[in-house]
Amino acid sequence: MTKAISIIIPTYKEKENIGLLVERIHNSLSKYDYEIVIVDDNSADGSEELVTDLAKKYPVKIIVRKNKRGLSSAVVDGIASTDSESVIVMDADLQHPPEVLPEIVKALGNHDFVMASRYIKGGSPGEWKLARKIVSKGATLLALPIAPKVKDPMSGFFGFKRSVVDAASLSPTGWKIGLEILVRSKFKSVTEIPYTFVPRARGESKLSRRIIWQYVQQLLDLYSFKYQVLNFMVVGGIGYVINIGLYSLLTLLPSLKTFEFNQVGKSYYLPPFVISSLVAMVSNYLLNKVSTFKGWKEQKGGFGRYIAMGLATLVLDTALLFVFVDKFNLAPQPAAAVAILIVFVVRFFIARSWVWKQKAPAKN
């Protein structure tokens, strides 16, 4: 039976906290139609048996993942396993107080996404050491440009309406799945509610250098997604270097220098431009596929479409190059650079609407 609210809790060796956590969640949400979904990374510490026993008294179940690891992917798997109208994600270590849950549920009545925040009035990071505060603040500042609507984008305590989140579009890397969901989904209304972060009383912290490195990788990926046109520009810049570099080499070849088009006179600079542009075109397609439009749906015949787009705009490139060189007497290399820049915006909008298409949120 579908529940109104699903509480997703990723775990790894948190048996000491699970029992008290489930009890406190129930005390907070007993008047709501809710379920607790614990997604465990094969802790083998008795967590599965404990949850099975707890399920006799509380609406809780456990999903044990045998061959997967990672907090973010655990949350995504948890979301995919439910059909509830609202989803709330929290940690298992009791650092996210379950008593805040009713406030999140209430806020979800008017908003698509609710972040429990340590950095708004009424919230607090708790009793952190100076080094931990510096790390947290630094990570928060790095995330603010891609998540400007919240003051605590690093919080792992949040809720959302599943109708506006497509789990399949998420890239579950690292631990900050809340930031991932916030950036990749289109929420009409986002809000924060305050909470005080509680020191861990049992178990061990999972924070490590590896986690920090994964966060850096996640940030790069999300910046690429958020500022897509800039990423397209970077890819275009790489293609530009390839194009101009190869073009410059080809224009030095004697065989091409003696090539003439009867229609336009001595235009030896045109054939090498076509060759270098085709090479850059293939390079740009591959780079855009794995970076700029990562997670987007490639239209049928995407490579052919991209090449067709490239050839069509290449005609414009070539025409501009001819005009700049033969009519305005510019040198071939700077003229080629100007021609490439002029058609950049046209290529971007054609690529994102005709070659790739953003995936629509899955309907539930």
Q: What is the DSSP string of 149-185?
A: T-S-TT-S-EEEEGGG--GGG----SS-HHHHHHHHS
Kindly report which listed range (175-184, 297-306, 315-324, 339-348) carries the lowest average pLDDT score. 339-348
Q: Which pTM was predicted?
A: 0.68
Q: Each residue of 278-294: pLDDT tens digit?
A: 899 999 999 999 888 87
Element spanning 10, H or E: strand 5-11
Residues with Cβ within 8 Å of 3's Cβ and at least 6 positions away in sequence, in order, are 33, 34, 35, 59, 82, 84
pLDDT band of residue 260 (cuts 50, 70, 90) is very low
pLDDT given at position 58: 96
pLDDT given at position 207: 56
Q: Which two tokens stand for residue 343?
A: 């058609």
Q: Each residue of 195-206: pLDDT tens digit?
A: 999 877 665 655
Mean pLDDT (the chain, rounded): 84
Backbone angles phi, psi at 70, to 5 degrees: 120, 135
Element spanning 302, H or E: helix 302-322
Query: Residue type at 136?
Result: S
Q: In what order do the strands lie in the sheet with 60-64?
A: 60-64, 34-40, 5-11, 86-89, 158-161, 113-117, 190-194
Kindly report which listed range (97-101, 157-161, 306-310, 318-322) carries the lowest average pLDDT score. 318-322
Q: Which two tokens stand for residue 108?
A: 């979800």
Q: Each residue of 67-124: pLDDT tens digit?
A: 888 888 899 999 988 889 999 999 999 999 999 999 999 999 999 999 999 999 999 9
Task: Give span(s): CATH 3.90.550.10, the chain.
Answer: 5-225
Q: For residues 300-327, give the mean pLDDT.
A: 88
Task: Say whether pLDDT at 257 is over 80.
Answer: no
pLDDT given at position 201: 65
Q: Each residue of 23-82: pLDDT tens digit?
A: 999 999 999 999 999 999 988 889 999 999 999 999 999 999 988 888 888 999 999 888
Closest among 192, 112, 128 to 155, alpha carbons compared:
192
Q: What is the DSSP string of 46-66?
A: SHHHHHHHHTTTSSEEEEE-S
Q: Which percentage of the chain shows pLDDT scores above 70? A: 90
Q: What is the CATH number of domain 5-225?
A: 3.90.550.10
C-beta separation of 133 from 141 below 8 A:
no
Residue with the larger pLDDT of the pair 251 and 320: 320
Closest among 201, 263, 244, 204 to 331, alpha carbons compared:
244
Closest among 295, 294, 311, 322 to 347, alpha carbons compared:
311
How far is the first Cα of the chain from the last one, in angstroms, to the nearest whole number? Answer: 14
**Is 86 strand, coil or helix?**
strand
Q: Which percentage of the chain shows pLDDT scores above 90? A: 39
Report how far residue 19's alpha carbon sits from residue 50's, in angstroms, rounded to the nearest whole number: 8
Residue with the larger pLDDT of the pair 252 and 320: 320
Report how far residue 114's alpha carbon sits from residue 134's, in angstroms, rounded to the nearest whole number: 25
CB atoms within 10 A of CB 210: 10
Task: Say whether pLDDT at 213 is over 80.
Answer: no
C-beta separation of 142 from 223 below 8 A:
no
Residue with the larger pLDDT of the pair 181 and 264: 181
222 burial level (CB within 10 Å; 0-12, 13-18, 19+): buried
Residue with tokens 């001819």: 322
Residues with Cβ within 8 Å of 196's Cβ and at least 6 positions away in sequence, in order, are 97, 118, 123, 124, 126
pLDDT given at position 363: 45
pLDDT band of residue 362 (cuts 50, 70, 90) is very low
- Helix, strand, coil % in the chain, rounded to nearest 5: 50, 10, 35
pLDDT given at position 89: 96
pLDDT given at position 253: 67
Closest among 96, 11, 13, 103 to 60, alpha carbons compared:
11
Strands 113-117 and 60-64: what pairing?
A: unpaired
pLDDT given at position 205: 58
